[in-house]
């Protein structure tokens, strides 16, 4: 189904305005006009916004400081929230994966990862993914559609409620289902809402956008949101190998990705993170280490190693801790940069991106 038709279908399913898809300034303008037409005082705008983003109300009926008749009128004109919980799974390590059902029946995943410092909220940007990375459960689902700004924002808003505490704050990572930079128009509205003090007020430095490498949008992200962090899912520093495991590399080879990353670093003054999913025997050979060292010479970056979580149908094995540590040590010697190993969380609840959705689909 063409993109325009998919978006039109959402409006057909529910013609009301999706209130969370309006960036804070646009939301205030829309509410000012809507309330003014009904003779409501100006302070009602602040009340509604407060209920949406501070109280994280799940419906208009909960907005008890508003007259009951006004709440009913709001319900007839605006849609809130944008997601419904379809399933929740909790790991023995405290990680929670939430499967959200959207208005058209599609499903996406988020993950709430508790830590002793800040909790991390991992959110999705698309239903499925078109990039078909060889190791990824989401890629096996195929691409369905982009998420609206409201569907992105609502994941964070409702995860904040589920975590059950206000302090300390959170880290938000766009490492769930989908390629965020292929949903740039909606992502930028969502980022603005997450960062804005009138919105969810997540510090921009606490947000990371992860991409497999969309050069033009990497540059745009640095220019428009210089405080937001960037993680590039590199996985290999050799074009021929990356062509196999990250097919987008055939369209945007490493030289283009590195050039965009350098421009991002110049615009932001930050180091980015190269993410490398450890596929034993595939991307941990001496020549792979040398190629990743060359990548770090070209781009100011640190490396985050991840141990592969097995996905049914993918031809890779999970590396042993010993082998990943040896890979890390080799990278440290050759690159001279920071190399860390990400702790695996939620494996007992199919915690990797797309695994729960894939299991439910029967694919």
Domains of the chain, each with CATH number or no CATH: 15-79 (1.10.150.530), 84-361 (3.20.20.70)
DSSP class per residue in 306-362: EEPPP-TT----PPPHHHHHHHHHHHHHHH-S-EEEPPP--GGGT-STTHHHHHHHT
The pTM (predicted TM-score) of the whole model is 0.92
What was the pLDDT predicted at 363? 45
Sequence-ordered strand ranges (E) for the chain: 17-18, 78-79, 84-90, 96-101, 107-113, 119-122, 126-128, 143-146, 170-174, 207-211, 229-233, 272-278, 301-307, 339-341
CA 313 to chain CA centroid, nearest Å: 24
236 Cβ partners below 8 Å, 6+ apart? 242, 245, 246, 276, 283, 288, 291
Strand partners, 120: 113, 171
CB of 249 closer than 8 Å to CB of 213: yes
CB of 105 closer than 8 Å to CB of 215: no
Rounded Cα distance, 303 and 272, in Å: 9
Count Cα neighbours of 210 within 13 Å in the Cβ-side half-sphere: 21
Residue 33 is encoded by which pair of tokens?
């006009």
Sheet-wide strand order for 107-113? 84-90, 96-101, 107-113, 119-122, 170-174, 207-211, 229-233, 272-278, 301-307, 339-341
Number of other CB atoms surrounding residue 22 within 10 Å: 21
Please identify which residue in the block is written with the tokens 């009340």. Answer: 47
DSSP state for residue 5 in the 8-state scheme? H
Rounded Cα distance, 241 and 291, in Å: 11
Residues recognised as catalytic:
109, 353
Q: Which of 331, 206, 340 is nearest to 273 (CA)?
A: 340
What was the pLDDT predicted at 356? 52
Along the 363 residues of the chain, how does pLDDT read in single tens digits? 555 555 556 778 899 999 999 999 999 999 999 999 999 999 999 999 999 999 999 999 999 999 999 999 999 999 999 999 999 999 998 999 999 999 999 999 999 999 878 899 999 999 999 999 999 988 888 999 999 999 999 999 999 999 987 778 899 999 999 999 999 999 999 999 999 999 999 999 999 999 999 999 999 999 999 999 999 999 999 999 999 999 999 999 999 999 999 999 999 999 999 999 999 999 999 999 999 999 999 999 999 999 998 888 888 999 999 999 999 999 999 999 999 999 876 566 554 554 555 555 544
Rounded Cα distance, 219 and 101, in Å: 33
Q: How far is CA 152 from CA 85, 174, 312, 355, in A?
A: 14, 10, 27, 19
What was the pLDDT predicted at 314? 85
Please identify which residue in the block is written with the tokens 């569907």. Answer: 151
What was the pLDDT predicted at 353? 55
Rounded Cα distance, 187 and 121, in Å: 16
């Amino acid at each position: 189904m063409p993109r325009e038709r998919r978006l039109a279908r959402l409006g057909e399913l529910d013609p009301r305005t999706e209130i969370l898809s309006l960036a804070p300034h646009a939301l205030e303008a829309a509410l000012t006009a809507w309330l003014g037409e009904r003779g409501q005082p100006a302070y009602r705008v602040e009340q509604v916004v407060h209920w949406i983003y501070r109280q994280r109300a799940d419906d208009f009926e909960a907005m008890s400081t508003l007259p009951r008749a006004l709440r009913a009128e709001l319900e007839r004109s605006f849609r809130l929230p944008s997601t419904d919980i379809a399933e929740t799974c909790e790991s023995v390590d405290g990680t929670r994966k939430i499967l959200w059902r959207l208005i058209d029946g599609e499903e996406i995943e988020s993950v709430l990862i508790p830590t002793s410092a800040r909790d991390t909220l991992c959110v999705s940007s698309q239903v499925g993914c078109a990039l078909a990375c060889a190791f990824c459960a989401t890629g096996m689902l195929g691409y369905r559609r982009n998420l609206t700004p409201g569907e992105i924002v609502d994941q964070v808003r409702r995860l904040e409620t589920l975590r059950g505490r206000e302090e300390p704050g959170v880290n938000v990572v766009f490492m769930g289902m989908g390629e965020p930079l292929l949903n740039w128009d909606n992502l930028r509205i969502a980022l603005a809402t997450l960062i804005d003090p009138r919105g969810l007020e997540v510090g921009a430095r606490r947000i990371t956008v992860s991409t497999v490498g969309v050069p033009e949008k990497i540059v745009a992200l640095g220019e428009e949101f210089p405080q937001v962090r960037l993680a590039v899912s590199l996985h290999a520093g050799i074009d021929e190998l990356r062509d196999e495991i990250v097919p987008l590399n055939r369209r945007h080879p490493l030289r283009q990705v590195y050039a965009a990353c350098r421009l991002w670093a110049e615009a932001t003054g930050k180091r980015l993170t190269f993410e490398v999913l450890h596929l034993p025997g595939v991307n941990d050979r001496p020549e792979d280490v040398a190629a990743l060292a060359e990548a770090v010479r070209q781009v100011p970056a640190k490396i985050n190693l991840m141990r592969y979580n097995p996905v049914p149908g993918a031809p890779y094995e999970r590396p042993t801790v010993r082998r990943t540590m040896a890979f890390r040590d080799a990278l440290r010697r050759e690159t001279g940069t920071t190399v860390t190993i990400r702790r695996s969380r939620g494996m007992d609840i199919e915690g990797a991106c797309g695994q729960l959705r894939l299991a439910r689909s029967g694919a």
